């Protein structure tokens, strides 16, 4: 059993180059836009990979193929992960620009002696003209903490939304308190009535348990 790296700040990265994204067409001379493209990740030397880390940009789901070079057989693409959901709803922006992690433990085959990955990017919605992956990184060891956003209880994007909501409400509450202090020094009923209309408070949201 492989043990995750104890220090998440000190990890063994894998050198690679990226080609793409390249649109995938069903017909050779097809000119219309397609909802599918591919990115090739070419390793500098064949080796072990345990994690692919990237930032999404409107990709609904991704598939993973790879080529291994540990035997004398002709190189051929092998399916590793058929479909990993990145956006729960392709027509909505939820998780459209979040950071995602694909681990070797999610694959149906091992990621040893890898020569190349091919990521199949899919976006069935016509609302987004461009979809791609950014800030791609490969690591030779497993992360200490699983960064996969699809937690059983709640997606990572839901936590981000809740935290952003709390931050905005906190700032609004602080501004309201400051305004009330200014208002208390005023003797005009009009000013008091004005700040009463602007009153705001916290919206209590129950956070999901990890």
Query: Is position 179 within any domain?
Result: no
| Pair 131, 58: CB distance under 8 Å | yes
Residue 117, pLDDT score? 97
Give residue 151's pLDDT band: very low, low, confident or very high (50, 70, 90).
very low
Tell me how many degrees the CA angle 161-165-167 measures, rounded to the nearest 5: 120
Query: Is position 133 within any domain?
Result: yes
d(CA 36, CA 33): 9
The residues with which 121 forms a beta bridge, in sequence order, are 37, 62
Domain range for 110: 19-139
Residue 36, pLDDT score? 93
For residue range 87-112, list pLDDT tens digits in order: 999 999 999 999 999 999 999 999 99
Phi/psi for 181 (5° steps) reads -65, -40
Give residue 41's pLDDT band: very low, low, confident or very high (50, 70, 90).
very high
Question: Of all residues in the chain, what percent carry a pLDDT higher than 70?
Answer: 66
| Number of domains observed in the structure of the chain | 1
Residue 44 has pLDDT above 80, yes or no: yes
pTM: 0.63
**Strand pairing class (16-23; 114-122):** unpaired
Highest-pLDDT range among 69-73, 105-109, 181-185:
105-109
Query: Is position 174 within any domain?
Result: no
Comparing C-alpha atoms, which of 80, 135, 77, 120 is closest to residue 103?
80
Residue 35: give its domain's CATH number.
Answer: 2.60.120.260
Query: Is position 93 within any domain?
Result: yes
Give residue 54's pLDDT band: very low, low, confident or very high (50, 70, 90).
very high
Spacing of C-alpha 105 from chain mean position: 18
The sign one gets for the Cα dihedral 151, 155, 80, 43 is negative
For residue range 135-150, list pLDDT tens digits in order: 999 999 998 765 444 4
Least confident of 75-89, 93-107, 152-166, 174-188: 174-188
Residue 166, pLDDT score? 81
| Pair 36, 121: CB distance under 8 Å | yes
Query: Is position 124 within any domain?
Result: yes
| CB-based contacts of 100, cutoff 8 Å, min separation 6 | 53, 54, 55, 56, 84, 86, 147, 148, 149
């Amino acid at each position: 059993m492989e043990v995750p790296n104890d220090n998440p700040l000190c990890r063994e990265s894998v050198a690679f180059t990226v080609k793409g994204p390249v649109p995938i067409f069903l017909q050779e001379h097809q000119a219309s836009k397609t909802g599918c493209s591919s990115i090739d990740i070419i390793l500098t030397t064949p080796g072990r990979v345990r994690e692919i880390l990237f930032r999404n940009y409107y990709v609904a789901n991704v598939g993973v193929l790879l080529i291994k070079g540990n035997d004398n057989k002709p190189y051929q693409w092998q399916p590793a992960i058929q479909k990993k959901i990145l956006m729960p709803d392709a027509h909505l922006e939820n998780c459209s620009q979040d950071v995602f992690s694909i681990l070797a433990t999610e694959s149906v085959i091992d990621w040893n002696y890898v020569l190349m990955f091919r990521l199949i990017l899919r976006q069935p919605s016509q609302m987004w003209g461009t979809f791609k992956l950014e800030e791609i990184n490969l690591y030779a060891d497993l992360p200490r903490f699983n960064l996969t956003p699809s937690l059983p209880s709640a997606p990572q994007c839901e936590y981000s939304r809740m935290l952003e909501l709390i931050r905005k409400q906190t700032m609004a509450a602080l501004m309201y308190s400051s305004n009330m202090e200014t208002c208390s020094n005023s003797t005009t009923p009009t000013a008091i009535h004005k700040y009463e209309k602007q009153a705001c408070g916290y919206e209590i949201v129950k956070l999901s348990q990890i």
